[in-house]
Every structure is written in C-alpha cells, then in structure tokens.
Structure 1
Amino acid sequence: MHYYNISLLGSPLEPFTYHSSQTISTGTKVSVNVRNRTTNGVVIEKVKKPEFKTNEVLSVSEFFYSKKQLDLARFISTYYVCSLGEALGIMIPFSCNSPELKQNGVFSSTSTIKLSQKQEEALEFLKEHQTSLLFGDTGSGKTEIYMKYFQKMIAQKKRSIFLMPEISLTPQMNKRLQAHFGEEVVMWHSKLTPLQKKKALAKIYDGSAKIVAGPRSALFLPIKDLGLIVVDEEHDDSYKSSSRPRYHARDLSIYMGKLYEAGVVLGSATPSLGSYVKFPHTRLRGTHFSAKKEFIYEKSKEELSPLIFEHIKKTLEAKEQVIVFLPTRANFKYLVCESCGASVECAYCSVGMSIHEKSNALRCHYCNYAQAIPKVCQKCGSGSLVSSRLGTAEALKVIQEKFSNAEVELFDRDAITSAKKLRDALERFNTQETSILVGTQMLSKGHDYHGVTLAVVLGLDNMLNMSDYRARQNALASLIQVSGRSGRAKDALVLVQTFNEEFFSKFIDDYDAFLQEEIGFREGLYPPYKKLCRILFSHKNSTRAQDEMHKMLEPLSRIRDIEVVGFGECATKRVADKYRFEILLRSDKSTNIIRAIKSCRVALAEVDMDPIEFS
C-alpha cells in the first residue's frame, strides 16, 4: 500500500493523507472523498504510513501538474498566504492522453512584420534582458514589437503567452494576431463557451497553439516550451486578483520568467513606478500618427457643461466621432438627502447605492443588492432627495436628448456583458454607425479608434483625491490612456474637466518627469521602496471580527522588522452583511511580513499582499 499527501483543489484546507494500491506520480490529479463528498485533489508527495486511519484514493485521472506548475503553486501559496490547493485551483493541468504533434510546428505565415529602426533597436534591447520594460507612448508601435518577438519565438520552436488586462481587448487583438499568425493563435478568457474552451485546450495540449493570448487566467494554462511572456498595459489594476489567491499576474509573470527561463516583456505608455525602477527599460517616444492633439482644461464640477456640448456639436457637424470618459457607472453614484445629508445606503454594505434609472432601481456595486428608488429619505423622511456624481448612463441619456440625431452608445460593464456585445459595439463604432461612445476605463484599454477627434474626460479630480498612494499615477495614466484613443487619423481635441490643470498639464506630455517626481514622493514610504500588506477580518458579528483583528494586532506590534501603519474599521465598514476590520503592515522585505503573519495568523485573517485596494 502507498500513502500520499493530497492537496484539495480550491480548498483552504491543508493537505490530507490518503492510501492507494497504485503507484501515483507527484502532481497527478486524483479524486478523493472528503466528509462524504467526492472532490478533486493533487498528489503532492509520497509519505510513510501514518499512525492514523486513511481513506483510499477513489480514482486516478489522466491529468497532471508539471513540476514547474507545482513550484509556481508553492510560491503563490507562500507569498500570497493561501493554501496549496487554492494556488493549484487556478491552474489547468497537462493531459497524459493529449495527442502530440509529430513536428513541433514551423512558422508558416506569409505575413511579414516590418519594424522601424527604433522598433528594431527596442526589440534587440528586450531580447538582451530576461525581464525588461517597453516604455512606449500610445501609438508608438509596441504591438508590432511584441508580434515580431512572437515570430522569433515560433522560429525557435518556443511558445508565448500574451497577457492583456481585460477581456475587452481580446476581439481587436485577436484580429491583429490572427492576421499575422492564423491558427497558431489561441484566445483564452472567461467569456468562452465550454466548447470554445475545449477546442482551445486541444490546440494547447497538442502544441499547435504557438501564442496564447488573454487576461490573467491565460498565465496558468499547460503550455510547453514557454519562451516568452508579454504583459501589455502592465500598469493596469485588472492584473491583481480580488479573491484568494490574491496574486498579481504581472508579478507572477516575472517570477515565471525565472522559473521557466523565459523572456518577460512589460509594456505600457504609463508604466507603474515599480516596473520603471526595478527593470531596465527601452523608451519609444512619439507616435506613428501625424495628427496633432490639443488639450483644453475646464475648471468645472463634474457635469456635461455648455463647453462640452459646444465641442460635441462641432465634432458631429464635421461627421467625426467622440468618446466621453467617466470613472462612474450608472446614472449617478449616490442619492443624497438635501435636508440631513445622508445618502441612501445598501442594506448589506455601508456604501451609497448607485442610481440605475433604466431598471428604476438603486443598485449596490459591491454586493449587487437592488431596491426601488425611494421617494423620501430613509433617515429623516424628507422628500428632498438629489442625485450626485454623474455616471455613464446619465451622461448617455443627456447626450441623447441633446443630440437626438446622433447614435450614442454605452461602453461599460453594465452594457458590455458578453464577448459578442463587445465585438458588435466596437464594430459599430469603427464603421461610424455609432458617433459617440460613453464609457468607463473600458474605453481606454488599447482600443484602436480611427475616427475620434474629440475626447471628453470627466471625473479625474475624484480619482486624484482618493485615499490611495497611487492616486496621482492612476489619474494621470487614465488621462493619457483615454486621450491616446483620439487623434489617430485627424487632429484632435481633448477636453479635460478638472480643477487641477497645473498637475495634468505639467505631465501630460512628459510621463518620464512624473515618474521621477513620484520617486521622491514614495521613497522610504511606499512601494516599490517598501512592501505593504493589508489583513482583512470580516464577520457578520462585528465584535467577533474586531476581536480577531486585536488577536493578531498585539503580537504583530511587538515584531521589530515590520511596522503597523494603521488598524481599525475599514473605510467601507460593511460589505455583503459582514463587518470589516483591517491591519495595514509595512516593511522593507516581503519575507518579514510573511514570517510575521504566519507566526500569529488567526482563522478570519484574509491576507492581501501588495494591496491595490484600500477601501
């Protein structure tokens, strides 16, 4: 009889010991019984016969996790403080029965990717470094460099992973990649149907997929002979997982580069300070587009002003296109009482609910609870309820009323709920069937809009004033990314509504100078010079959550090489009917934090290493 420690896939529990008459290799996926329920697990190691009674392994599958996948899972488990089963749960295993191509495949595309001299020099620089940053202005030709690098990998019989921050980028990028590489490209994301996923996996298993592209989940596919990982828009927060394991796909790509001895390219027009400071970079300035761009700054509260309407009117009369950016979805972010100042809060979260007039509802963007829009204040009974913080749906409605002959479309997560809707919306805009696109961050994510000559940017001051050490970078990056979608075919105007013109105008054409200034702001206090960790405690019983926080706080406060920056009730004190408390830690090294947490961790502690969310 053989005995094995087995990690349960997706489970927070530590490995259990099982027995089997079969010899099972490490990494094999098996099914076992846990509390009278059949579940999947992974053989971690063979062990001696324990003193306690063990259950038998029910079945052994054809699937297995490679040694490198196991090593990566161990790193995720240690660094992001989760179980090995949770780390393995985000990965897709290899298959013993997948057919192997007799030949590894030869690059057969007749398409040639031509680079300028500057692009060739940038590519050579990237190839010389194991991990490097491609710091290129919007429209400077970063994608062409990626594709040339992919082509070189295929010639070397190596495979590449191409990460994009969101699914919203995949249709357009898929079109470009397939034009060059045809069937050797596989797209992978959560909106694929089961059949599409099955077909994609078949190509990955048999080796015919030479380039695998998609958002962060594409990093965990069973790819052989990995030679290159490209992380496009590396600054984007979408690469950070908001649920356990709370990994950052960009940072894991860097670790995987070392583990797999593969090249790693981080690309952005607005790189994160961490990547800029830590890795060698090559700078691509300017753009392929000859059109000019003018910036107008309007000192105004967040609203669709007469100046905005005037410029939209001129743009439509010239038969050109407009994009309108707001950071807020819905009609309005809050419904507030003029008499007592209270906002209508979610019944289960301590946040104001957003107004969705189309469904006549207030909706919580944290837990998705909805209720009818009230006529009177829940707190004082007054009927003086006013809406505040303009959202995309309201902007759409107002613009449609003002320009009834124009085709105006919403481009946010409320409207774009499937890959088909995304493709169709982009197609309508690119064929100029739609004249005005109103949306959130989704608008700025690398889409190629050729007819846009007016970009309207609202809500930047709200982003700038957030309680986040990265607020300046996030606000400036949003403006640069949104403005970069305009002026590709013709001269364009970017109308920015802000009371902080001095900040934005200083850095809009000199992000390098901003990064240098930001170094002085963060040094000795914030990442990349310090490591941060946020520990969350949530429970339906407020006292229980608070007590658990204090149980960890006391021993953590005595550890010399970490600093407790703050503790107490979270800014959003209740989410999904659970009360929330937190501890924020800072140290010179992540190992100090990990060691400290493991020495005193309690059951309710949810660890978020390198947090990007502070509310």
Structure 2
Amino acid sequence: MFYYEVFILGLNLRPLTYHSKTKLEIYSLVLAPLSKNTKQAIILKEVKKPKFQTLEILSICDEKFSNIQKTLAKFISYYYACNLGMVFKIFTPFKSSNFINHNFDKTPTLSPLQNKALNFVTEHKTSLVFGDTGSGKSEIYISLIVKELNLGKQVLFLMPEISLTPQMEKRLKEYFGDFVGVWHSKITPKKKQNLLKDFEDGKIKLIAGARSALFLPFTNLSLIVVDEEHDDSYKSATKPRYNARDLAIFLASKFDIKVVLGSATPSLTTYKKQPYFRLKGTFFKSSKEVIYDENETQISSKILKEIKACLENKNQAIVFLPTRANFKYKQCKKCGEIIKCPFCSVGMSVHKDKNALICHYCGYTTYQNASCDKCGGDTFEAKRMGTSEVLNALQKAFKEANIAKFDKDEITTQRKLTNLLKDFNDRKIDILVGTQMLSKGHDYHNVKLAVIMGIDTGLAYADFRAREKTLALCMQIAGRAGRVGNAKVLIQTKQADFFKSYLDKYDEFLEDETEFREDLYPPFTKILRVLISHKDEKIANEITQKCLEIIPKFKDIEVIGHGKAVIEYIASKFRYEILLRSHTYKNLVMLSHVLEKIPNVEVDMDAIFFS
C-alpha cells in the first residue's frame, strides 16, 4: 500500500492523506473521495503510513500536466503564497500531444527600423519593443511567430481580453490560417473543448489568448509575445494573484522560451528591467492637435464645438470617461452626505434606465427614492458624470448622429463586442462613448477626434503608479484617433501642465518617474499587500494586530503603512490592510506563507490594486 498527500483542486484546504494500491507519480491528476463527493486532486508527495485511517484514491485521470505546467504551478504556489490545489485548478491538463509540420511562407514587409527591432529581439531571451502607436509592433511579432512555427514550435500570443476581437483573429489568420486558436473567458465550453482537441492534435500551433491561455498544456513552446504588457488585466485580482507577464518572464528563465514584451506606454518595471528597442514613429507628433479644456468634468461648449465640427466633416469621434452609469454617486444637498451601499462603504451609482441606485462592488440595488441617513433630507445632487449621462447629453445635442455606448454595462458578450466594433468601423456609428475599454488596442479606422474626460481622477488615487497609469491611459486613448490622416485630441483636465509635459514624451516621463520611485517603490523594491477582512470589525482589527506582531520576526521588511483599507467595507466585511516593502523578495515570500495561513488574511505579492 502507498500513501500520498494530495491537494483537492480548487479548494483552499491543507493537504489530505489518501492511500493507493499502486505507485503514483508526483503531480498526477487523480479522483479522490471527499465527504460524499468525488473530487479531482493532485498528488503532492508520498508519505509514511499515518496513524489515522485513510480513504483510497478512486482512479488515475487520463489527463496529465506538462513539464512547463508543473514548473509554473510550483512557482506560483511559492511566489504568490497559494496552495497547489488552488493553483492547479487554473491549469488545463492534456491527454496526448502531436505535432504537424507546416511551412508558413507569408511574412510582413518590414521597414529598415522594424528589421533592426526584429534583429534586436531575436538576439535577446527577453526584451521589450517600446514602440509608438502605429509604429508597426504587430509586424515584428508576426515575423517572429512565422520563424518559430516554421521550426515546428508552439507560440503563445498574450493580449488583454478586450483586444481579442474577430478583427485581430482575422489578421492572424491571414498569415497562419487555421493553425490559430483564440482563447479567452467568453468562448463557450464546447468551443474550448474543440480548440483543446485541435491543440493536442497539433492542428493549432499559435494560441492568441488572455492571461488564462498561459495555463494551456504547451509541450513545445518556444515564444511568448505579451502585447500591451503594461495592462493591469495581466494581474489576477483573485487567488492565485499571479501576473501573467511576470510568469512569462519566469518561464524564459527556466526553459528554452523567448519572451517579447510590447507597448507604446511600457510599465516602469519593464522599462528598467528588460533590454528594449525604441521603435519611434512620427505618428503621434505629426498627426494630432491636442486641445486642453480646463472646465470641470462636463459636456462643455468646447467639447460640443469639436464634436460638431468632426461630424460636419463626416468623421467619427470617441469620448472617454472613467465612470459608467449616469453618475458615480448621489449627494444630499442639505448636509453633503453621500448615499452609500448598506453592505459596502462606497457611493451607489445612478442608473437612470433602471430607475435605480446600484453598488458596483456587491451588486446591491435599490429602486426607492432614498432619504439621507444622516439628516433625513430628500433632495440630492448627482455627481461624477458617467457614460450613460454623456450618451444622453450627446444624443440630445446631435439628434441626427448615431451614438453608442462602450462599457461593461453595454458589452456583456463577445458577440456584442464584435458587432459594435464592426458597426463602428463600417461607419454605422458616429460617436462611441466609453470607459477604459476604448483604449484597449482596437483599430478604429476613421476616428478624427478623441475626447478625454475625467482623467484627473486617476492622478488622485492613493497608488504609487497613479501618474504612470493615468498618462498611459491618456496616451492609449489618444492613440485610437488619427490612425490614418490628421486628428484632434481634446483633454478635459485641471492638470494641463502634467499632460503638456509628457503626452508625447513618454521616455522623459519614465526617467523622471525613476527618480521619484528610486529606493522606495517598484521596480527598485518589492511590495506585499496584506488584506484582512471580517464581518466583525473588532476581530478584523485584532487579526491586523496579530499580523503586525509577526512581521518584525522577518528581516529587512519595512511596514509602509497599515490601517483601514481605502474601501473600508465590502459585502458586509470590514477591511484592513498592511503594506510592506523590501529590497528583496525572499523575506516577503517567507512572511507571506506565514500570514496566508491565518484565517481571513489574504496576501498579494507585487500588488497593483489598492482599493
């Protein structure tokens, strides 16, 4: 009889001990009884016969994990302090793998500068293509992919999920035909099943996918391209809290895999840590006129004037603002109190189409005209205009124009995304009003005006990356206009000096930001966020104090700050946080494994979300 510790997949449990009549391989996938259910489990290690009675492993699964998957899972479990059962749950196992050789003849025509960039990334194991909008990064990626596929290898092309459009898929298929598979959260289980079969059979060699595509069963992977590497969507906000970009770089250090990162607005971390090729273009400077509007966030006369001129010239416009719904919150006119969600310490967003106030954190909805909890007043003022309100205002101002909304409330399926982008590029829509989704690398052919509203809110966040994120977002939205010919960008801001200094000088911004962060923040230090949450505020505070007592036992770790989280209360739980800093990751990792075992404590290595 053989005895094994196993982790149950998807459950945050300690290892459990089972027995088997046959010897099993470590990291084998098995079926094991748990309570009255049968669960998939992963074999952790063989152990001696325990003193207690054990249950028998029911069967060995046909599927298995590749060497790449096993190595990556172990690293995620270690670095992000998450048990292997939770980690292996996000991986897709495989039954077999085959390879079909095929020669790809079609390649893009590259300029001399693009050829230099191609040679640069070919010579480096990991590298960054720091390329302006419209400078031709995609052609470099495709040239690299052709080379690897012709060697019989597999390639992974990572991008933010919202960028995985049929438009992008069509472009890849022009070069790689049916050897391309697209993987993201919105494809149906049946499509995923068919794609996996074709992938295992060798019929698919190139996977274009969101961050979860990194966990597919690659057995012959030689190239990972991470487009828009600065994008926060590569970081998981739930357990395990990995960053797919960083995991790609880790794989390059362990296997014969090349990693190419790309962005027009790279993160400071990547800029400082990776060798880069600067692919400059005259696209931004030569084709854009930037207009500044110092009004408060509103549909100003300046905005209306520019949109009117744009429409009269038979052109299209995009309008960005960071808030969806009609307004961010309602405020009592009598005492200034904000109507908050009873389960979260956040203002409730105004949705006029539903005649409702909705919490965007827990989903709580109220349809009643609420009175002020503080003073009983019944007159309110709506604040922080959102996409729905701007849409309504523009529809009244431009009755003949076709105006559409592009945010999470509107785009709920992949089909809706596909149809909206197609209609916009077919010029059936004149103005697109949206949130950050507007910035995600979509190729708008006829946009001659980009209006950016509410951008100052990003600069006010309590986040060491606030300037970087806000400037990058502004540049990404501006980059959607004037893909062909001239265009205008109108930025509504009280911080015009900041944007004037850096809008077309991102290199200069990165150097100035380096001075600001040196010795204090990433990439010069490592950050660990510890989040404590509990329904009883007293207990949440006690757990926080317990964590603070443990921290000094670990060397070279500085407490940056601790106390109530920015959002103090979500889904009826009180939230406290501790922010830690160190110049090396090892002590933080050791500490995170200790703290993670405390109930109601979550740890986040290399945190980028601080709400």
Scaled to the shorter chain, the TM-score interval is: over 0.9
Distance change (3 Å), C-alpha of 1:17 and 1:67? farther
Give the match for residue 541 of structure 1: 536
CA displacement, residues 226-265 of structure 1 (integer Å, 9 cap, x when unaligned): 0001111000111110100011111111111222220001
Q: Deviations over 1:445-488 (max 9, x none)?
A: 10001100010001111111111111111111011100100011
Distance 1:289 1:518, change over 3 A: closer
Q: Secondary structure at the match of 1:95?
A: coil
Cα separation, 2, equivalents of 1:281 and 1:290: 22
Superposition misfits of 4+ residues, deviation over 4 angstroms: 287-291
SS of structure 2 residue aligned to 1:63:
coil
> Residue 269 of structure 2 aligns with which residue?
274
Of residues 167-176 and 237-246 in structure 1, the stretch that sits farther from structure 2 once superposed is 167-176
Q: Distance in 2 between matches of 1:430 and 1:163?
A: 24
Matched, 1:48 2:48: yes
Q: Which residue of 2 aligns with 1:427?
A: 422
Q: Structure 1, residues 537-574: CA drift from partner, whole Å, max 9, x if none? A: 11111111111111111121454410111111112111
Q: List aligned pairs for 1:520-539, cutoff 5 A.
A: 520-539=515-534
1:479 aligns with 2:474: yes
Equivalent-residue separation in structure 1 for 2:275 and 2:482 (angstroms): 30
From the superposition, tell whether residues 67 and 50 of structure 1 become closer, same or farther in structure 2 (CA, over 3 Å).
farther
| Corresponding residue to 1:309 among 286, 301, 304 | 304
Q: Distance in 1 between matches of 2:432 and 2:411?
A: 12
Q: How far is 1:107 from its partner? A: 2.5
Is residue 85 of structure 2 the alignment partner of residue 85 of structure 1? yes
CA contact (8 A) 2:107 2:142 kept: no
* Match of residue 219, structure 1, among 183, 208, 214: 214
Shift in Å at residue 291 of structure 1? 6.3
Matches within 5 A, 1:48-87: 48-87=48-87
Listed as ranges, the matches of 1:56-455 within 5 Å are 56-96=56-96, 100-101=98-99, 104-108=100-104, 110-286=105-281, 292-372=287-367, 374=369, 376-455=371-450
Question: Tell me, what secondary structure is at the counterpart of 1:499?
Answer: coil
Counterpart pick for 2:600 among 597, 600, 604: 604
Separation in 2, partners of 1:369, 1:153: 50
Of the structure 1 ranges 427-436 and 63-72, higher mean CA displacement relative to structure 2 is found in 63-72
Amino acid at match of 2:150: A
Structure 2 length as normaliser, TM-score?
Answer: 0.97
| SS at structure 1 position matched to 2:240 | coil
Distance in 2 (alpha carbons) for counterparts of 1:111 and 1:373: 61
Q: 2:209, 2:282 → 1: CA distance?
A: 25
Cα offsets for 1:17-46 (capped at 9, x unmatched) = 211223333322111112232111012233
Distance in 1, Cα, partners of 2:154 & 2:71 = 20
- In 1, Cα distance between equivalents of 2:427 and 2:81: 49
Cα distance between partner residues in 1 of 2:209 and 2:539? 41
Residues 12-21 or 188-197, more deviating: 12-21
- Matches of 1:174 and 1:454, distance apart in 2: 27
Secondary structure of the 2:164 match is: helix
**Aligned-residue CA RMSD (Å):** 1.5
Output the CA distance in 2 between the equivalents of 1:502 and 1:288: 22
Question: Structure 2: which 5+ runs fail to align?
Answer: none
Unaligned runs of 5+ in 1: none
2:34 equivalent to 1:38: no
CA contact (8 A) 1:29 1:40 kept: yes
With the length of structure 1 as denominator, give the TM-score of the two structures.
Answer: 0.97
Aligned partner of residue 94 in structure 1, secondary structure: coil
- The count of residues paired between Structure 1 and Structure 2 equals 610
Alpha-carbon offset, residue 224 of structure 1: 1.8
CA distance in 2, matches of 1:383, 1:52: 65
Q: Counterparts of 2:592 and 2:452 in 1: how far apart (Å)?
A: 42
Once residues 355 and 405 of structure 1 are traced to their aligned partners in structure 2, the CA distance between those partners, rounded to angstroms, is 27
Distance in 1 (alpha carbons) for counterparts of 2:524 and 2:44: 36
Q: Deviations over 1:167-189 (max 9, x none)?
A: 34332211111111110100001
My pick for the range that moved more, 64-73 or 330-339, is 64-73
| Aligned residues of 1:167 and 1:214 also touching (Cα < 8 A) | no
1:15: how far off? 2.1
Contact (CA 8 Å) 2:67, 2:219: kept in 1 or not? no
Who is 1:3 aligned against?
Answer: 3
Give, in whole Å, the separation in 1 of the partners of 2:251 and 2:370.
55
Instruction: Name 2:491's counterpart in structure 1.
Output: 496
Q: Distance in 1 between matches of 2:217 and 2:342?
A: 43
Deviations 1:107-139 (A, max 9, x none): 24x533211111111011111111111100011
Q: Is the Cα contact below 8 Å between 1:162 and 1:214 reproduced in 2? A: yes
Q: Output the CA distance in 1 between the equivalents of 2:403 and 2:492.
A: 21
The answer on whether the counterparts of 2:66 and 2:219 sit within 8 Å (CA) in structure 1 is no
Q: In structure 2, what is the Cα distance between the partners aligned to 1:252 and 1:520?
A: 27
Q: Deviations over 1:416-451 (max 9, x none)?
A: 011100000000000000000000111011000110
2:454 corresponding residue in structure 1:
459
> Which segment is superposed worse, 598-607 or 247-256?
598-607
**Mapped partners of 1:388, 1:518: distance in 2:** 32
Contact kept in structure 1, 2:532 and 2:575, CA below 8 Å = yes
- Judge conservation of contact 2:28–2:60 (CA < 8 Å) in 1: yes
Letter in 1 for 2:604: D
Partner SS, residue 224 of structure 1: coil
CA distance in 2, matches of 1:39, 1:88: 13
